[in-house]
Amino acid sequence: MIDELSVPANLGAGAVYAEKREFHKVKKALGILLNNDETFQAEQRARFNTLGMSLRKQGMLDEALEYYRKALEYNDKDENLHFNLARVHFDKGDHIAALDHLERCLAINPDLEVARKFQRYCRKQLGGSGLGSGDALR
């Protein structure tokens, strides 16, 4: 017997459903997760990041954005959330929003080299332009 409203169960199941491309089941799990504050508590951090990454990898970009934005409401100082949001925005073709979240990520953790590399790549995609405030992060 599984508690259908269990946050850990839905986080795990949602990631599995995304990998299996069972999108109607993913949406059901997301509906439960997005309406439960427990989803975004610190002890669930690794699990909700895994689900967000699975959503992005399976092309459920709008769902991933909604999911990560909700997570930021609980903790806007998590560099990993900003980095993962940057990835989703990049995949959607919004390089400016990607750069914005990379700058936020690097403001929190200036030593996150993968974010620096991604930031350089995004700027290159924009022809070297980017957000003016990001020049200090080069």
User: pTM for this structure?
Assistant: 0.74
Q: State the sign of the Cα–Cα–Cα–Cα dihedral 59, 62, 64, 65.
A: positive
Listed residue (90, 124, 92) closest to 105, CA to CA? 90
With H, G, I as helix, E, B as strand and everything else as coil, classify residue 127: coil
| Rounded percentage of the chain residues whose pLDDT exceeds 90 | 41
Is residue 45 within 8 Å of 54, Cβ to Cβ?
no
Quick check: 121 pLDDT over 90? Answer: yes
Q: For all residues of the chain together, what is the average pLDDT? A: 84
Region of 93 (left: φ > 0; alpha: ψ -120 to 50; beta: rest) is left
Mean pLDDT for 102-116 is 97
Q: Is the dihedral of CA 111, 117, 118, 120 positive or negative?
A: positive
Mean pLDDT of 66-85: 90
Mean pLDDT of 87-113: 97
